[in-house]
A and B are shown apart, each in its own frame.
Chain A
């Protein structure tokens, strides 16, 4: 047996490129459906975990998936906006704790999440360095944002304009970094958290500018009508909130009309959650209430259906690969006819010659299987981190 294995090994080692191609083909065809299954399973776990931990979401009527992806993963386009009045509406029911979210702006590609301190508590986010935001214009960074931007407490980040061509749009706001969150290995690691009012400052609905009542602003005033002052465009708008100018920041209009993207409702108990769902699931013309888990499950159902097609396609590819491998083997046998004849002529037994050839096939299949197993184990071991990086990054 040792001689058989030796001859088989020498043949495979001599034709190492052909062997490597065969082993890789077999490994991939075995690994792809299994690895895909493992990877999708891990993705599903990863997506579901965050959805499960978020009981109920309230937002404007529209795509529930967009609302969930934006609110939970800070991905996807900004959903249809709702009003801050929804927060008050939920609060007034006493059925759930409302946590507003305004996920619309970004800073160097990282989402800026306007919310309240309740969000940090709800997600169990700990401060690793510095402190929580306390004043308008302050922010805390997710761990990976701090790492990628190289910014910590005492530094600053600037919001990005929504469109460089929109001169009437939002102006960049320089925000002071007061803290960095400990890693949570979730989407929160890649977000910048500000107070909801700071998000509105970025939008411009809360703003600060030079005092128009001061004598030195007289040249910029176009009209005075009681408390209403109309000024020209040369009025200085503040794009950084400092102790000196913070008092000049003010809002116009009704606070409850201000925009938010969603409200996370955290019911006190299951019954409260059911009642809250009932109140929204009536004939509400403007708002929708969704259970993120249900939405994500629907998404995963679609993914699983697609996976089925992919696996079926891979099955066909596998058949083609097996057929090709068989053809390669048969052609190889033909090419090795003289070699086989030589072994037989010098006295090699048929069984021994067949054993050498079979050993080569078994070795290739075994190596392919082991490689596939290794890849599958690696997917199991590192797949979660890769998915997390994919989802977070």
Chain B
């Protein structure tokens, strides 16, 4: 499902290098990525999503070799087959719950916003307990509810891969458990592969596998 080989990534500022000789995630697998801050966990997600491109090596996601695609193709791939969940939700404050969920359909023509897509979004919202809040503006929701909206946005396109960057990082302990449970349940329901970056070691037992990322991190010495 996800294959990385001989990867070298370096930010233009050159503060650190990320070297990943080999990394793979099987279809339907739910893995947690841990590691110290700045070790390149978020960069890994960006590489898997095709947001960032490596200097060397290959990244293949859901059978598509992203390193061989141009930027526009990677965007089209991303909106169709990747679901992204961010630590700070990154919802559009001026939109309601349903409109935020349907945002991927509105920002790229490769997805078609039709009745089926709306119905699918409604079902996802129902699964996470937001069915009665679809018209509510997101700035009127609690933190836990907002992360659930972000979760729905990532899932309503039925992506092959869900990439979650600290999905519970901004939530209180009560909401952490609920959101993680919903995330795991939802990807299980859609058969998606999950790669979640987390600092919260209490949540690790819920994942199929845990990858410590500090092994790939190389502080720039030059």
B153 contacts partner chain A, Cβ-Cβ < 8 Å = yes
Report the bound CA distance from A342 to B93 in whole Å. Answer: 12
Within 8 A of B (CB), among A330-369: 338-339, 341-349, 352-353
Report the bound CA distance from A3 to B113 in whole Å. Answer: 9
On chain A, the residues within 8 Å of B109 by CB distance are 349, 352
A15 contacts partner chain B, Cβ-Cβ < 8 Å = yes
On chain B, the residues within 8 Å of A348 by CB distance are 75, 79, 104, 107-108
On chain A, the residues within 8 Å of B76 by CB distance are 347
Asked if residues A347 and B94 are in contact (CB atoms below 8 Å), the reply is no
User: Given that A3-B113, A338-B90, A352-B108 are known contacts, is A346 also in contact with B95, CB under 8 Å in the complex?
Assistant: no
Q: Which residue of B lies closest to A348 (CB)?
A: B107
Within 8 A of B (CB), among A70-123: none
Asked if residues B80 and A347 are in contact (CB atoms below 8 Å), the reply is yes
On chain A, the residues within 8 Å of B113 by CB distance are 3
On chain B, the residues within 8 Å of A349 by CB distance are 72, 75, 107-109
* Highest count of chain B CB atoms <10 Å: which of A4, A342, A344: A342
Asked if residues A347 and B90 are in contact (CB atoms below 8 Å), the reply is no
Q: Which residue of B lies closest to A339 (CB)?
A: B92
A6 contacts partner chain B, Cβ-Cβ < 8 Å = yes
Within 8 A of A (CB), among B78-120: 78-80, 82, 84, 86, 90, 92-95, 99, 103-109, 113
Residue among A3, A7, A345 making CB contact with B49, cutoff 8 Å: A345
Asked if residues A345 and B107 are in contact (CB atoms below 8 Å), the reply is no
Q: Which residue of B lies closest to A6 (CB)?
A: B106
On chain B, the residues within 8 Å of A343 by CB distance are 103, 107
User: Given that A346-B153, A347-B108 are known contacts, is A10 also in contact with B99, CB under 8 Å in the complex?
Assistant: yes
Asked if residues B75 and A342 are in contact (CB atoms below 8 Å), the reply is no
On chain B, the residues within 8 Å of A224 by CB distance are none
Asked if residues A3 and B84 are in contact (CB atoms below 8 Å), the reply is no
B51 contacts partner chain A, Cβ-Cβ < 8 Å = yes
What size tier do the contact residues of chain B reach?
20 to 34
Asked if residues A346 and B104 are in contact (CB atoms below 8 Å), the reply is yes
A326 contacts partner chain B, Cβ-Cβ < 8 Å = no
Report the bound CA distance from A322 to B103 in whole Å. Answer: 32
User: Given that A7-B106, A352-B108 are known contacts, is A347 also in contact with B93, CB under 8 Å in the complex?
Assistant: no
On chain A, the residues within 8 Å of B86 by CB distance are 342
User: Given that A345-B51, A347-B76 are known contacts, is A352 also in contact with B107, CB under 8 Å in the complex?
Assistant: yes
User: Given that A10-B99, A347-B75, A349-B72 are known contacts, is A15 also in contact with B94, CB under 8 Å in the complex?
Assistant: yes
User: Given that A3-B113, A347-B80 are known contacts, is A342 also in contact with B90, CB under 8 Å in the complex?
Assistant: yes
User: Given that A345-B84, A346-B79, A348-B75 are known contacts, is A353 also in contact with B94, CB under 8 Å in the complex?
Assistant: no
On chain B, the residues within 8 Å of A6 by CB distance are 106
On chain B, the residues within 8 Å of A15 by CB distance are 94
Asked if residues B106 and A347 are in contact (CB atoms below 8 Å), the reply is no
Q: Which residue of B lies closest to A343 (CB)?
A: B107
Asked if residues B82 and A347 are in contact (CB atoms below 8 Å), the reply is yes
Min distance, Cβ B200 to any Cβ of chain A, angstroms? 23
Asked if residues B90 and A14 are in contact (CB atoms below 8 Å), the reply is no
User: Given that A3-B113, A11-B94, A347-B79 are known contacts, is A353 also in contact with B84, CB under 8 Å in the complex?
Assistant: no
On chain A, the residues within 8 Å of B95 by CB distance are 7, 10, 14
Report the bound CA distance from A15 to B90 in whole Å. Answer: 18
Q: Residues of A with Cβ closer than 8 Å to B?
A: 3-4, 6-7, 10-11, 13-15, 338-339, 341-349, 352-353
Q: Residues of B with Cβ closer than 8 Å to A?
A: 49, 51, 72, 75-80, 82, 84, 86, 90, 92-95, 99, 103-109, 113, 137, 153
- List 16 interface pairs A-B (beta carbons < 8 Å), by A numbering: A3-B106, A3-B113, A14-B93, A14-B94, A338-B90, A339-B92, A342-B90, A345-B51, A346-B79, A347-B77, A347-B79, A347-B104, A348-B79, A348-B107, A349-B107, A352-B107
Q: A4-B106, A10-B99, A349-B107 are in contact. List 10 more A-B contacts (CB 8 A).
A: A3-B113, A7-B106, A10-B95, A14-B95, A339-B92, A342-B90, A346-B78, A346-B79, A347-B82, A347-B108
